[in-house]
Structure 1
Amino acid sequence: MLKYSLLGNDLYAWAIALAIALAVSALLYLARRVLVRRLSVFAATTTTYLDDLAVKVLSATHPLFILLMGMYAGSHWLLLSDKGTTLLARLAIAALLLQVARWGDVGVHGWLQHYRTRRSALDVASTTSTAALGFVARTAIWAIVILMILDNFGVNITTLVASLGIGGIAVALALQNVLGDLFSSLSIVLDKPFEVGDFISVDGIAGTVEYVGLKTTRIRGLGGEQVVFSNSDLLGSRIHNFKRMQTRRIVFGIGVTYELDRRQLGAIPGILREAVQAQPQARFDRAHFKSYGASSIDFETVYIMQTSDYAAYMDVQQAINLALFERFAEEGIDFAYPTQTLYLARARAGAAQEG
């Protein structure tokens, strides 16, 4: 019975090869289970995500890959032809490359899912854009692995890569606007010039960012309308992000009448200072007699709001205006308003003659 030969090897050799294959497969399977279990216990004691990701990647080791590696190890006991040995080696490399691709696919998917979960409360648009980024990354991984497998089996991939390159250039030229918006979307997600919920101004259009998609960004304007920008046009413009303001520099002016005396004019900067310093959220900077206007004497005041909240700024400015109204009334200082004085030279000359 043992003299029976199959592919140049007797049953004894086949039995040993099978035993080696089963033993190697069992050891690899056991090693995977032990590593996954110990990493899981370690990951539960840490706050980083890398160890959790390592658990997911190792858990993605396919049992068929383990079995194929065991069979390849057992095949070394057999006497095979050169073609058979080369074919088995190529199959083993192909299986390894496919498993590497699976590890990379699971790693990219797990990392992006963790990123979206962490950012979902702050940046809703990250779900859409990172999904596109994940698709591109995973497609690239599988494409590279497939090309490596074809090259492993002796296929000349130079012509294939050149053809794909020419086809890719043609597609890129046809879809350059779409691809430009796509990469702009990824740039917005990664660089974060603004996020959903930020109040921004672009080319004189102000509003709150509602959505950042693969091609467009949508802003809710002050009038309630929705304004849609292409992502590439948006990044090509100057963006003012008011939500990221930490303070506000406020400049306001007032005008008083020319009928005031020197003492009243000299008291106005101090009154302005007192009105601003009375507000806890405002830091006084300066107050000056600025210029002589057409119908008023103009003063300019500057202060810094310690918060970026627009409503808080308006409350403070209102309190300052009311305080100035009261103090000016106490000091007999009148606010200026547009006036014109006409001097009639002929009328004055006639009056002089009558006199």
Structure 2
Amino acid sequence: MEMLRNLNFFRLITSGDFWLNIAIIIAATLIIHWVISRAIQLVGRRVKQWSTGRHSALYQIAVEMLDNTKRVLILFTAFLISMRFIELPGTWHSALAHGWFLVFAIQIALWLDSATHVWSQNVVNQPGAVRNTVTMVILGVMIRLLIWALMLLSILGNVGVNITALVASLGVGGIAIALAIQTVLSDVFASLAIGFDKPFVIGDFVVFNDIAGTIEHIGLKTTRIRSLSGEQIVCANAILLQQTIHNYKRMQTRRIVFTFGLAYSTPPDRLRLVGPMIKRIIEEIEETRFDRAHFLSFDNFRLTYEVVHIVASADYNKYMDIQQEINIRLMEELAKMDIKLAIPTQNILFTEREFPQIKVLEPGPPDKTAMPAAKAAE
């Protein structure tokens, strides 16, 4: 039997058709490889010319995909095409079909991988957009892992491997791993949520609970905040998203409410002049808008006025400059109108008919008899 096989192989390689088919395959492979390579080069040049001076991500993705077309895969493609020019046994057609699928699956995965890389880089480096770099890196890695996992599973399924059991095993293993590192995963997914929803970005001033500071870094597991007192506060992403966060960096305006008090001796006709006077003062100051000013209430020792104005800036120092100017001008105008600000006072009512005698001690030498007691107390 072995001798018969060797005889058939010898007849095959000594026949003229065999070497003719080999020559056809080699020649066709080289020609087709050259044609495909030249076509890709021409298309790549044209796309690069179109993309010159343009910032469209589509052109950059197309250029990267063409550059990531592998020469080895082009050679295999040319070889598979050249096999169409000769007669092959019936059993070879199935092998060729698997070869075509393998080449295209790998090349498509390479194209999608390069497109994902370019897209993530463009999103991070987009002018005027503040992006979380860590989040985009995580997202890019997850998409690329998904692409290659699907490619591998599709190839295994094409060659006849039962991938149902494999996927089930991977699912069970994934659940076990997820349970073991659920704390880390919760922080990772919280980082992704921060990147997509953007409740805050690097440079924002935030306040939550008793913490106030500027966001310095948003990482894979933690977010780092520089507090007002100078130390760095590290907070887990999952815990941070559970808080009610005040983001003062995104505040466009400030609604300011302040009060002041006038003395009870102020006549009613002058009280009516205070509101218009405050309105005039605020309207003369830039970057703020008058809202209202009213005589609010009768308090213990003062007649209370409440004033509201809108500062057209989120800068706290700017707000303090405006409020200081309002306060100074208010004091100047009240002095011109002979209206006094309220001073805290307290009235004491004596129920006896005679006013109690008050003894005022004049300063004199210290009582020497009390010195030992004082020293004992020390």
Question: Is 1:332 aligned to residue 334 of structure 2?
Answer: no
Q: Which residue of 1 aligns with 2:207?
A: 201
Q: Which residue of 2 aligns with 1:229?
A: 235
Q: Which residue of 2 aligns with 1:137?
A: 143
State which of 57, 62, 66 in structure 2 corresponds to 1:58: 66
After TM superposition, give the deviation of residue 47 of structure 1 in Å.
3.2
Question: Is 1:278 aligned to residue 278 of structure 2?
Answer: no
State which of 161, 165, 170 in structure 2 corresponds to 1:164: 170
CA offsets 1:213-255 (integer angstroms, 9 cap, x no match): 0111111112212222211122222221111111111111111
After TM superposition, give the deviation of residue 168 of structure 1 in Å.
0.7
Matching of residues 22-171 of structure 1 within 5 Å: 22-118=30-126, 123=130, 126-171=132-177
TM-score of the aligned structures, taking structure 1 as reference length: 0.92
After TM superposition, give the deviation of residue 79 of structure 1 in Å.
3.2
After TM superposition, give the deviation of residue 195 of structure 1 in Å.
0.9
Distance in 1 (alpha carbons) for counterparts of 2:157 and 2:334: 88
- Kept in 1, the 8 Å contact 2:203–2:216? The answer is yes
Distance in 1 (alpha carbons) for counterparts of 2:66 and 2:270: 82
Code of the residue aligned with 1:72 in structure 2: it is L
Distance in 2 (alpha carbons) for counterparts of 1:225 and 1:265: 49
After TM superposition, give the deviation of residue 169 of structure 1 in Å.
0.9
Please say which structure displays the higher CA radius of gyration: 2
State which of 233, 246, 250 in structure 2 corresponds to 1:240: 246
Distance in 2 (alpha carbons) for counterparts of 1:45 and 1:288: 60
Code of the residue aligned with 1:73 in structure 2: it is I
Unaligned runs of 5+ in 1: 351-355
Distance in 2 (alpha carbons) for counterparts of 1:269 and 1:276: 11
Identity %: 38
Quickly say closer, same or farther: Cα 1:7–1:157, change in 2 above 3 A.
Answer: farther
Q: Which residue of 2 aligns with 1:5?
A: 12
After TM superposition, give the deviation of residue 116 of structure 1 in Å.
2.3
CA offsets 1:291-328 (integer angstroms, 9 cap, x no match): 11122111000011111111111000000010011111
- Kept in 1, the 8 Å contact 2:60–2:118? The answer is no
After TM superposition, give the deviation of residue 204 of structure 1 in Å.
3.9
State which of 244, 262, 266 in structure 1 corresponds to 2:272: 266
After TM superposition, give the deviation of residue 143 of structure 1 in Å.
0.9
TM-score of the aligned structures, taking structure 2 as reference length: 0.86
Q: RMSD of the alignment, in Å?
A: 2.2
Code of the residue aligned with 1:92 in structure 2: it is W
Code of the residue aligned with 1:268 in structure 2: it is V
Q: Which residue of 1 aligns with 2:298?
A: 292
For the residue of structure 2 that corresponds to 1:307, the secondary structure is: coil
Q: Which residue of 2 aligns with 1:308?
A: 314
After TM superposition, give the deviation of residue 84 of structure 1 in Å.
2.7
Code of the residue aligned with 2:344 in structure 1: it is P
After TM superposition, give the deviation of residue 264 of structure 1 in Å.
2.2
Distance in 2 (alpha carbons) for counterparts of 1:6 and 1:99: 34
- Kept in 1, the 8 Å contact 2:258–2:306? The answer is yes
Residue-pair matches, total: 347
For the residue of structure 1 that corresponds to 2:87, the secondary structure is: coil
Distance in 2 (alpha carbons) for counterparts of 1:310 and 1:219: 19
Distance in 2 (alpha carbons) for counterparts of 1:89 and 1:72: 9
Matching of residues 181-196 of structure 1 within 5 Å: 181-196=187-202
For the residue of structure 1 that corresponds to 2:203, the secondary structure is: coil
Unaligned runs of 5+ in 2: 1-9, 357-378
Distance in 1 (alpha carbons) for counterparts of 2:147 and 2:167: 15
Q: Which residue of 1 aligns with 2:351?
A: 345
Q: Which residue of 2 aligns with 1:353?
A: none
After TM superposition, give the deviation of residue 75 of structure 1 in Å.
1.3
Distance in 2 (alpha carbons) for counterparts of 1:74 and 1:153: 22
Distance in 1 (alpha carbons) for counterparts of 2:346 and 2:248: 41
